[in-house]
């Protein structure tokens, strides 16, 4: 497990220094938002942008109406002092209606297969070793080989 943690720590990018999310952002949001926007959920704040999950277009329109006052209240908070805009993300369906969703292309990655293969060779736990080996084989082929 330490090998996996080391590889992930080395390969994952560092989060931005001004990233705010979780309970801290939730408490700021609840203090500043009007009661009409109780169904909206803040996702995270980064680089002057607050990302908010909205349940539908009516809630997004209401957020746009309340935008200037809400921005002023949020900017007064020390965590979000550099806030420039509120970006909405809609919950639920990702694409436009009546559009057929294409099947995802098989995932193939020679580099990923080599990484997981070498990681499997370093791990002592037999169950984890077998899982990593299966993942390496799936990445090396078209992904259709399942155990």
Q: What is the mean pLDDT of residues 130-144?
A: 81
CB 49 within 8 A of CB 85: yes
- Looking at per-residue pLDDT, the higher value among 14 and 120 belongs to 120
- Higher-pLDDT residue of 15 and 38 is 38
pTM over 0.85: no
Closest CA to 141 of 119, 103, 109: 109
Q: What pLDDT score was predicted for residue 130?
A: 92
| Helix residue spans in 53-123 (DSSP H) | 57-75, 110-122
With 70 as the cut, is the pLDDT of residue 9 above it?
no
CA atoms within 13 A on the CB side of 5: 2
Q: What is the pLDDT of residues 19-46, one digit of tens each?
A: 666 777 788 888 888 888 888 888 887 7
Could you give the C-alpha distances from 35 to 56, 71, 143, in angstroms and in order? 17, 15, 49
Burial of 132 (0-12, 13-18, 19+ CB in 10 A): buried
Q: Which residue, 56, 43, 55, 57, is CA-closest to 87?
A: 43
Q: What is the pLDDT of residues 55-109, one digit of tens each?
A: 888 888 888 888 888 888 888 888 777 878 888 888 765 555 555 556 665 566 7
95 or 13, which is more confident: 13
């Amino acid at each position: 497990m330490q090998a996996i943690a080391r590889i992930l720590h080395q390969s994952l990018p560092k989060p931005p220094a001004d990233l705010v999310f979780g309970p801290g952002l939730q408490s700021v949001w609840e203090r500043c938002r009007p009661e009409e926007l109780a169904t909206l959920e803040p996702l995270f704040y980064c680089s002057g942008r607050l990302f908010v999950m909205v349940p539908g277009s009516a809630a997004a329109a209401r957020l746009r109406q309340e935008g200037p006052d809400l921005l002023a209240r949020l900017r007064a908070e020390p965590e979000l002092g550099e806030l420039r805009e509120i970006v909405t993300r809609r919950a639920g369906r990702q694409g436009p209606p009546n559009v057929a969703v294409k099947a995802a292309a098989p995932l193939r990655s020679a580099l990923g297969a080599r990484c997981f293969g070498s990681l499997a060779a370093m791990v002592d736990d037999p169950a984890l070793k077998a899982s990593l080996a299966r993942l390496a084989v799936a990445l090396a082929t078209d992904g259709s080989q399942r155990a």
